[in-house]
Amino acid sequence: MNENTYQPIQLENRIDFTDVQEKMQAVKKELKKVIVGQDDVIDQLILALLSDGHSLIEGLPGVAKTMMAKLLAKTINAEFSRIQFTPDLMPSDVIGTSILNSKINEFEFKKGPIFANIILIDEINRSPAKTQAALFECMSEQQVTVDGNTYPLQPPFLVLATQNPIEQEGTYRLPEAQLDRFMFKIFVNYPSLENEIELLKEQQDRKNIDKTTLVHKVINGNDINEFQERIKSIFIHESLLNYIATVVHQTRIDQSLYIGASPRASIAILDASKSNAAINGRDFVIPEDIKQVAHAILGHRVVLVPEKEMEGITTQQIIQQIIDRVEIPR
C-alpha cells in the first residue's frame, strides 16, 4: 500500500474527547444566550481558544465584536483584561513599567493589563505602530521583557483584538508582521433579517436585564490548558501534512497574490485542524478539518496583486480557488 494513502477510518478513538465536546458545547450555549445569528463566529472563537491562537475580529460598528469577546471571557474562570487602544496609548500602558520604590530605593516592575489570561484589545488599529509592536513578544513568546528582565505570561493566554474595516480617520494599518501573529481573522457580518427580528424581540423582552449577567462560567483556565495539551496528541496522517504544506505553498506561487502565507500559517492550520477534530469527538484529522479552518487562517496573511484588487477580487476567493485545485488525499 502506498505510504501516502490517507486512511481516516479507525475502529475506536485512542483518546477520548467527550469532555472537550461537552465543555465547548456548554461555552457555545452560554454565548448563544446573548449572541444571535453568529454561529460561525462563535465556532471560530472556540477553535481559537482550544488552539491557543490569538484572533483578530473584524466587522462594522454595532455587530457585537466587543460583546462577543467579553462574553467568551465571561464563560471562563480566568483573569480577564480589556485594553482600549487610542492614539496616545504608550507601550508601557500595555506591558507595564518600572517604578522607583522610594521605601527601598529600588525600581519595581508594575505589571500592565497584558498580564491576564484573556485579553480584549478594543480597536487595535487606533494606536500607532510603536504601541502595536508592544504586542509582538507577548503574542509570540508569551512573555514580556522590560529593562532586561523577562516576565512570563501565565497560560492560558489569548488575545482577542477588534477592528473596524472601513474607518480610516485616526487609524493605523496593522503591519504584516503583526497580522501574522494572529492565528485567525474572524469576520463578523450583519445578521440576517430573521436573526435581527429575533434580536429585537429578545432586547424588548430583556429591557430591564443586563444581558451579560445571563452568561455564566462553565470552564476554568486549567481545563483549557489540559485540553490544549491533549489536542496536540491528535493523529494526522503524513498525506494531510503534505496537503497543508501544498495549500500554503500555492499561496506563494499563485499569480494573483503578491505575498503568500508564511510557515507560521502552516503550523496554525495544523493546530486548528486538530482542535476542529477534537470538537467533533475525533482523535484524528480529516481533510474537512483543514478546509474548514484554512480561510480564517490564510485570508489575512496574503496580499493580492493590485490588478486583482482593482477587479474586485478578494483574498477569500483566491484561497478557495487554491483549495479547489489542490488534490485532497484519499
How does pLDDT run across 153-162, given as a tens digit for each residue? Answer: 999 999 999 9
Q: What is the average pLDDT score of the chain?
A: 91
pLDDT, position 7? 54
Among candidate residues 18, 116, 17, the one with its CA nearest the CA of residue 73? 116
In the chain, where the domains are located: 18-203+220-325
Quickly list DSSP for 200-237: HHHHHHTTTS-GGGG----EEHHHHHHHHHHHTT-B--
**pLDDT for 3 beyond 50:** no
Q: Using H for helix, E for strand and C for coil, what is the string for 25-50?
A: HHHHHHHCCCCCCCHHHHHHHHHHHH
- Return the sign of the alpha-carbon dihedral for residues 237, 238, 240, 241: positive
**pLDDT for 254 beyond 60:** yes
- Crossing angle of helices 263-279 and 287-298, in 10° steps, is 130
β-sheet bridge partners, residue 162: 57
180: left (phi > 0), else alpha (psi -120 to 50), else beta?
A: alpha
Among candidate residues 312, 198, 290, the one with its CA nearest the CA of residue 239? 290
- Return the sign of the alpha-carbon dihedral for residues 155, 162, 294, 20: positive
Average pLDDT over residues 35-62: 93
**pLDDT for 5 beyond 60:** no
CB 73 within 8 A of CB 221: no
The whole-model pTM stands at 0.90
**Distance (Å, whole) CA 40 – CA 46:** 10
Beta 257-259 vs 303-304: how paired, if at all? antiparallel
pLDDT, position 15? 87
pLDDT, position 13? 56
pLDDT, position 280? 94
CB 112 within 8 A of CB 97: yes
Check if CATH label 3.40.50.300 holds for domain 18-203+220-325: yes
93-109 core/surface letters (b: 16 or more CB in 10 A; e: else): bbbbbeeeeeeeeeeee
How does pLDDT run across 234-249, given as a tens digit for each residue? Answer: 999 999 999 999 999 9
